[in-house]
Structure formats: C-alpha cells, structure tokens
Structure 1
Amino acid sequence: MKGKLTISIPSILMIMLFIIQFVSFPYFPWYDTIKYGFIVIIGVFVLRRYKVFLNKKYRIINCLAILFGGLTIYSSFINRNQTIERNPFLSAIIFVITYLLFLFFIEIMVERKKIKKMIDVFYKTAFIIAILTDIIMFLKPELVSIHGNNYFIGTKFRVVYLHLILIALYLAKLNFQSHQKKFQTKRMLSLSIWSILVGLYVKCATGVVGLLLLYPFIHIINKNKRILLNWIPFTIVQLFCFSFVYINELILNNPLIQSFILHVLKRDITLTARTRIFNMVPELLTGNTVWGFGYGTSYELGMKLGGFPNTQNAVLEWIWQVGIHITIIMLIMFAFILYFTSKNLNDTNKNAVIPILACIYIMTVLGMVEITIDSIYFALLILILGMSMEECKSKKREMLYDYKENA
C-alpha cells in the first residue's frame, strides 16, 4: 500500500536517529534517558558493522569528522571547570557521538541502498511529530510558558525548522519515487501554507523568511547547479554570513534593508539588539580564540558576561564554543562534504538533493543573525552526502518536480 510505513529494524533505527538528531522533547523530564538509550541502540548497530565506515571511499570525510569531534571534546574538557550549571565536556561528548553515529549510519545505509527508504521514513516521522507539535501548541498554549517558552519539540526556531525540513524531505521523496502529480501538488501547497501559518503563530520572523525562501532557493540552485553545488561558492556564502558580525553597520545603513527589517520583519534596526551583541562578543573572546569557552556554554556565559543568550551568528557561535582553529576545521569538513556530494551526483539523485541543499543554504543565510549550525545542520549535510551516493536503478526515469531547465 502506498504511503505505508513498513516496520523493520532499520526503520525503527531511522526513527530513533531522526529523533535524537532533529528534535528534543522538553515537556518530558525523562527524555534525556530515552535519548541516551537510543544512542546506545544505534551505537551497537553501527559498531557491529564497523567495516563499512573503514571503507576507503569514506576515509577522508570520516577522518575530518573524527578530528573535528575529538578537538571539540578536548576544547570542552579544558573548559569543564567553569562556574556554570551545564557541563560542556559531557555536552560535547553527546553532540559528537550523535553526529558521528548519524554519519556512520548513513554510510551503512548507502551500502545497503536504503537511502531512499531513509528519506521516506524521515519524512513520515517529521510529519507525525509536526502534527503532534501543532496540535499541542494550539490546544494547550499554556504549556509554552510553563516550560520556559519551549514548544513540544523545543524553541520556536526548532518548530519552524522542522516544518521547513518536512517540506524539503517531501520534495526529496517525490524525486526518488513516482506519484500522481495532481495530488502531490495539492499536498505541497498545503504543507507550505500550513508551515507559514505555524511560523506566524509562533512569531518566528526569520523562520517565516526561511519558509518563503525555500522555493526561490530551489529555483536558484537549479538554474545555477554548477555554481551552487560547488564547495567554493558554498564556503564563500558561509564566510560572508560570518562577516556580517563586522560589516552589519554597512549593510543595515541601506534604506531597502532598513525598510525590510522595520516593515516586513517588524524588528528594530538593531535586529533585537544583535548589533550590540556583535560588538561585545569579539571583545569577550579575547584570550579564548584558540579553544573557545566549551560546547554549549554561550547561554550561561553570555548572560553572565554580557547579558545576551548567545552570539546570534552561526559561525561566531562555534568560535565561542571551540575556538577559531576548530571552527576552520569544521568549515573544511563542510566543504569536503559538498565536494564529494557534487562529484557523486547523477540526474536522479541531483533532483532529490536540491531541496535539502536549499534548506542548508537557507540555514546558512539565516546564520547571519541566528544560531543555525547545530545538530540539524550537520545532519542535513551528511544526508545530502548519502543521497548523492544512492545508486538509482533507472537514471532516465521521468521525475515529478524535475528541476531541470526547460529546453
């Protein structure tokens, strides 16, 4: 039956992997225990198949991932004795283990030719969680304030990003499978309107902008495949978004930008005090640029040292956490992922990768003023790597929503 989710051990593991990588459940105090249990179960599955990620074709990306992870843990280890409630050392270990498990699991699924199945399971899992989140949000709005302005799966940003990823997964799913076009067009329109309304309801202006940018970005990437599937332009975009920390005054002095911020985003010209934070953070980092302050410390230390919740810039956040050298290694790892992705693409998987890549570009751009390089960002990059390696049985099959240019 179409649309049926077949329950199997790999499917169950995929659901677990999606939960620990893409969402959290702050309404349940015992969630961390469940999460650690999922990590152990997935870890056993992965370690029993260790020969896969020792394969030569995965060597470079795995070495970079392990190097970055090891240095992140070390950075947090030397910062473990700070006077804050959160333990950066333990937090770093959990973060590194989860993204490495995601990477190794993807490689195992590539060898088993299960990436298309994984996209399908991820989409259905995201759909169910999004529905539950929205129902609870509308029926029990008081829970948000009770749980520290958190929704069922976390902050308002997590809620909107889940809906953004849901649409992208659906588009990727379509380009790996055959469906009735009329029905799917209606579903895509419904998903988009539903997601935008949710974004407006939770008052996440940047998230709504991201949702509105999804289809334009898909179109732009499609029209400029050779450029935007290349690691060099991708890295340039990341560095430009980081440079916003230093050139924000120049950009914000533009009348068109000011009009957009004031009248569309309904924010003040300081971007809700972000410009003040950008001025403070580089000074606070003086003396800590090599190893940072430790993973996950920006909220407590930011509030303690400067009265801000985080650095409000995706790349700057990582410099705060692990230092500039480890952040550079992270960006190099991202560049290699995109390099290998572009090398492995064919006509079929290229069309499936584009909507996920559009999400990554959107989160990169939003990273100028938000913390977007997190577990979700890592997972999406690893996912497109796996999708690009998926061997399709029929490269000439007609694709719905094929983003190819018309002749």
Structure 2
Amino acid sequence: MIISKLSSKLFFVCLGLFLALFRVYLIPYTTFKALSFMILLVYLFLFGHNKKVLYHSRYALLLAGIIFFTTVYASRNLVGLFNGSLYGLQFFVVFLFTNHMVYKYGIRQCIKNYLQCSLLLTALMDISVLLNMDLDPSHYQNLITYLFGNKFMVAYLHMITLGFLGAYWYIEKNKISLNHKIGYIVYGIFSIFMSGYAKCSTGVIGNFVVLILVIMPLNIKIKDFFRKPGNMFIILLIGNAMLLGGGLILEIPGVKYLIVNILHEDLTLTGRFWIYGQLRDVISSNLWFGHGYNSDTMTKLIGYGNAQNGILQYVLDCGVIGVFIFLLNWFHCLKTAKNTGHIVWPIYGLIYAFIISSLVEVSFKIPFLMALSLLLSIGVSTTEYKSNINMEIREKHSMG
C-alpha cells in the first residue's frame, strides 16, 4: 500500500512536468508559458539541490545556457529574456528531474511513471484527433491543432510511449514475453494508424522504426554497433549529407518506392528542397549564435514552416556554437549509457526513430530530450547510484 501511494504521488509529480513541457492548446499561449515557467521554477527549486544530480546534468545546463543566450541575444528585449529563460528551463529541468527520479526512486519507477504520463497524454491527444478537434482556427502553418499540438506531436507522443513501454518491459522481464510482444505489436500498429490518420507520414515511419527495432531479435553485436556514440553520429551525418547534398538518399529505389507508392508524397518532399536552398543566406547572417531558439525566422521569410530538418533548425536557431553544445550533450548521454547493457535498447530504438524523422522534420525537441535524459540517468545509475539500484532490485524480489 505504501509503495502504491508513493507511485501515485510520483505519477502526479511527473505529470506536472509533462504538462509544463507539452503545450495544452485549450489555454492561451501566453497563459501556458506563464504557468510552465512557474512550474519549472518550482521543480528547479525542489530538485536542484543534489550535487551529484547537478553534476551529471552539467552538459544539459550548458545546453540550456546557450538556448537562453541565443534567444536573448537575437531579440534583445524583455520578451526575449522571458522566452530564453523559459526555453532554458525546459531543456535543463528535463535532465535534472529525470536524474533526480532515477537517483532517488530507481530506473523502474522513473520509466513506469514516465510511461503512465505519456500514455495519458497520448490517449487524450488521440481522442482530440478522432473527435476532429481544431483548437486553432487560424490554422497556423496550414496545420490542424489538436489538444497538445499538430500532427507531428500526435506522432511523437506515440513514439515516446512505444519507447517507454518497451523499456519498461525490458527492465521488468529483461526481455519481452510472447504475450507482451503481441500486445506491443498491436499498440505499435495502432500508433502507425494514428499517425497516418493525422496525415503525418513522418510519424508513420518513426513509429514503424521504434516498433521494428524493439521487437526484432537483433544480434547483440548489432545492438552494440548501433549503441556506440561514434556510429550513431556517423549515421546521423551520412543521413543528413545524403539528403541535403542533392537528395542522394532519394535515388535509392527502396526509399523512392516508400515515398511515392506507400506514403504518397512527392520526391521534392513537399517543397523541402526549396526551403533548404533558402537557408544558406539566412543561416550565414547569424552563423555563430543563430536567430534565437523557437524563432519565426522561416515564417517571416516564406510565410510558413521551419527548417524542415532537425540539425539545420538548431543551426538556424542557435548557430554553430549551439549545435556543437547540443551534440556535446547528446554524446555525453550516449557515452554515459555505454555500460547499461541492453535493458534500455528500446530507448536507443526511439532515438534512431527521431534521427530518421529529423532528416525531414524538426524532431530534436522535448520528446527527444526525454529519451536522452533517460539514457543519461540510467547510465549514471549503473555506476554512481549502484547501491540505490541494487536496493530497488532487492525490494522488487522481496515483494515477488
């Protein structure tokens, strides 16, 4: 009963974080930003005292700092100061709180509560999609806005839920049982369906990638290859180079067939190559520090949209320095998680899904950071917090 009460309390604490990070479109944007800022400040005050947790979140703090600086530097007004503070808090508190959860309550409890929260938000989002709720009559960027965002957020919520669910089962059983695998496949197919229903081709591919990488019986050597930081960054680099360097990736017959015959998209990727062509001058005008995080630079230039690429968006928003720190934090998370074994393989699958999505969308935002924060925290837990994890395992066996 005590554990149940604790789990319930932690669920609501985690839910508070999720609601501060995922915009609720039922309330005005300015109201949401004010509430989010206050909630994140409270979380920073409550969970920012542990020196170990702060130390292991140091690169996230550096990333939050550059997000704050570039936003303030680009705007140089009070609105920019507030926005920079809010975005910096969002980036840092994700890592701080996840580290705190794993440090104090263990891996299993953290992933369980994150899974519960993502399931709840995903279910509410799906209801809003199926009811065809449109909470933004202006149709900003020609997209329908549901409870927590547009079609891309529908996809990303399903992707992180698939990743968290797979990770929770891996930790519980060290492998997914047959019954779990069947249920997981069913939910994965539903996630793909919901992405398609929301008309998000990127989400269809992203959810498919998570599903396949989690259920496929991959050899340990193959998993080790994909878990290595260097290999992951090489894949990220090759993917971007092949797409941005003349669209070479689209010349691959299988990719071309997927885009044209299955996703029913055109080979210009809905005008993305034209957008990429416009970015050179925009980026070069503020090469080092960018135009500020979450800026509307592309909207002002062409009337809608963004950089349509995860890495390019960071260059546009935060400059070369911001991208370097973003990749540095990412590398730190991967390096720290290298000794976690394969219990967190579903989180790696989730990250690869975001990498693929990022080639044509701005996918490296809060959902992606949540995946990175879990890798970092679980990696730290295998060394720094080992006594805590061993205690968690003993308690679990004593209850069983």
In the superposition, the TM-score normalised over structure 1's length comes to 0.84
- Of 198-207 and 106-115, the range deviating more from structure 2: 106-115
Inter-partner Cα distance in structure 2 for 1:175 and 1:354? 8
Give the direction of change, closer, same or farther, for the CA distance of 1:276–1:221 in structure 2 (3 Å limit). Answer: farther
For 1:138, which of 127, 130, 154 is the aligned residue?
130
Question: What SS does structure 2 have at the residue aligned with 1:26?
Answer: coil
Counterpart residue identity of residue 329, structure 1: I
Are 1:338 and 2:339 matched, yes or no? no
1:35-54 to 2 correspondences below 5 Å: 35-47=36-48, 49-54=49-54
Q: What does residue 364 of structure 1 align with?
A: 355
Q: What does residue 65 of structure 2 align with?
A: 70
Post-superposition Cα deviations, 1:306-340, rounded to whole Å, max 9, x if no partner, equal 34410101000000001112211211221121011
Inter-partner Cα distance in structure 1 for 2:159 and 2:241? 25
Post-superposition Cα deviations, 1:326-379, rounded to whole Å, max 9, x if no partner, equal 211211221121011103x14xxx32x111111111101211111011122122
Inter-partner Cα distance in structure 1 for 2:32 and 2:393? 45
Q: What does residue 377 of structure 1 align with?
A: 368
Give the direction of change, closer, same or farther, for the CA distance of 1:236–1:340 in structure 2 (3 Å limit). Answer: same
Q: What does residue 231 of structure 1 align with?
A: 229
Give the direction of change, closer, same or farther, for the CA distance of 1:80–1:116 in structure 2 (3 Å limit). Answer: same
Give the direction of change, closer, same or farther, for the CA distance of 1:205–1:280 in structure 2 (3 Å limit). Answer: same
Asked if the contact 1:237–1:365 (Cα under 8 Å) also holds between the matched residues in 2, the reply is no
Post-superposition Cα deviations, 1:245-280, rounded to whole Å, max 9, x if no partner, equal 531433334444333221111111100000101111
- Equivalent residue pairs, number: 378
Alpha-carbon RMSD across the aligned residues, in angstroms, is 2.9
Counterpart residue identity of residue 15, structure 1: L
Inter-partner Cα distance in structure 1 for 2:5 and 2:358? 34
Asked if the contact 2:229–2:334 (Cα under 8 Å) also holds between the matched residues in 1, the reply is yes
Counterpart residue identity of residue 319, structure 2: G
Structure 1: 5+ residue stretches without partners? 398-407
1:200-215 to 2 correspondences below 5 Å: 200-215=196-211
Are 1:388 and 2:375 matched, yes or no? no
Are 1:286 and 2:284 matched, yes or no? yes
Shift of 1:81: 4.6
Asked if the contact 1:341–1:385 (Cα under 8 Å) also holds between the matched residues in 2, the reply is yes
1:55-94 to 2 correspondences below 5 Å: 58=56, 62=58, 64-81=59-76, 87-94=79-86
Give the direction of change, closer, same or farther, for the CA distance of 1:356–1:221 in structure 2 (3 Å limit). Answer: farther
Asked if the contact 1:222–1:354 (Cα under 8 Å) also holds between the matched residues in 2, the reply is no
Post-superposition Cα deviations, 1:286-323, rounded to whole Å, max 9, x if no partner, equal 231111111111xx321222344101010000000011
Q: Relative contact order (alpha carbons < 8 A, sep ≥ 6): 1 or 2 greater?
A: 1
Inter-partner Cα distance in structure 2 for 1:221 and 1:42? 41
Shift of 1:231: 0.9
Inter-partner Cα distance in structure 2 for 1:34 and 1:77? 20
Q: What does residue 184 of structure 2 align with?
A: 188
Inter-partner Cα distance in structure 1 for 2:44 and 2:391? 33
Q: What does residue 257 of structure 2 align with?
A: 259
Q: What does residue 403 of structure 1 align with?
A: none
Shift of 1:167: 1.5
Q: What does residue 17 of structure 1 align with?
A: 17
Asked if the contact 1:363–1:372 (Cα under 8 Å) also holds between the matched residues in 2, the reply is yes
Inter-partner Cα distance in structure 2 for 1:129 and 1:162? 8
Asked if the contact 1:312–1:370 (Cα under 8 Å) also holds between the matched residues in 2, the reply is yes
Q: What does residue 400 of structure 1 align with?
A: none
Inter-partner Cα distance in structure 1 for 2:233 and 2:176? 38
Counterpart residue identity of residue 316, structure 1: L
Give the direction of change, closer, same or farther, for the CA distance of 1:181–1:333 in structure 2 (3 Å limit). Answer: closer
Counterpart residue identity of residue 314, structure 1: G
Are 1:123 and 2:104 matched, yes or no? no
Structure 2: 5+ residue stretches without partners? 395-400
Q: What does residue 405 of structure 1 align with?
A: none
Shift of 1:186: 4.1
Give the direction of change, closer, same or farther, for the CA distance of 1:143–1:215 in structure 2 (3 Å limit). Answer: closer
Inter-partner Cα distance in structure 2 for 1:254 and 1:176? 37
Are 1:314 and 2:313 matched, yes or no? no
Inter-partner Cα distance in structure 2 for 1:71 and 1:252? 34
Q: When you count helix as a share of all residues, which structure comes out higher?
A: 2
